[in-house]
Amino acid sequence: MEHRILKKMLDFLDEDLPFDDISSKLIPEHTICKARIEARENFKVFGLYYSKVLLDYLGIRAELNKRDGDWVVKGDILVHITGDARKILSVERTVLNVISHLSGITTQVAFFVMKAKAINPEVKIACTRKTTPGLRYFEKMAFEAGGGDTHRFSLSDQVMLKDNHLRILGGIESALKAATRASSFAHKIEMEVETFEDAMKAAEMGASIVMLDNMNPEEVSKVVAAYKSRGYYGSVILEASGGIDFDNVEEYAKTGVNVISAGILTKTVRSCDVSLEVEL
């Protein structure tokens, strides 16, 4: 896995350094310096390991002062760096962008999870595939570091029948039959539904997971109650998704749904403030 992480990090660096760093060439060759990466606000940090993989490859010594998933406060030193000054300045923005963006995801997921679990300690907060192209693995791992669940990493992980699949395949019954015939026993089958009736039908037909799409908390509560009375609850996972954010997550947590997935946690991210300071 480390070689794949390194490849990604080198791709990020290549975007910023396709040929040469004109500015850093002003520094005399073989100038060795020390630097530090520090937090400029309070947050839950992530991306330090990925940055170290890149720095190590470039021959820059990186000593992590914090671990991915740690809460940090303004002024905390995250990484101590020693190495060639030209290389440090050339890689600076790539490393800071990775740490600041991923820490932003980890931090807001952590607060989202806190809000939901304060109401329902058993509920899981899950990621979606609404991730930045090229960054999915990193963003999903940042999500997990915030206390969330990664859900699917890709279309290959499980069968998930959404509204457009159902339209083309002719509805829940025919879609589930087709999925059962075509998929491996190792793959769960998740069905997206928008009505109470379809939620019942999906469970009756043998779906492993039923996603309640764009249902309000009252509608979700009704489905949960029906699953409990009909014996589905616990054997069929209920997931609520669609329009769930910081303002209403507590209402969804109260319903007793098993999983809450929220695309907002990866679609709308405020990067955390980190800096690299050379120590003379």
Domains, in order of start, for the chain: 2-110+270-279 (3.90.1170.20), 113-267 (3.20.20.70)
Residue 156's pLDDT band (boundaries 50, 70, 90)?
A: confident
Give pLDDT, residue 210.
97
Give the separation between CA 145 and CA 48, rounded to whole angstroms: 12
Q: What pLDDT is stored for residue 100 in this prediction?
A: 98
pLDDT confidence of 186, banded at 50, 70, 90?
confident
What is the pTM for the complete model shown? 0.94
| C-alpha to C-alpha distance for 24 and 229, rounded to whole angstroms | 68
Burial 34-65 (b: 16+ CB within 10 A, else e): ebbbbbeeebbbbbbebbbbbbeebebebebb
pLDDT in tens, 45-100: 999 999 999 999 999 999 999 999 999 999 999 999 999 999 999 999 999 999 99
Count CB neighbours of 191 within 10 A.
28
pLDDT tier at 1, thresholds 50, 70, 90? confident
Using DSSP bridges, classify how beta strands 159-161 and 124-126 pair: parallel, antiparallel or unpaired: unpaired
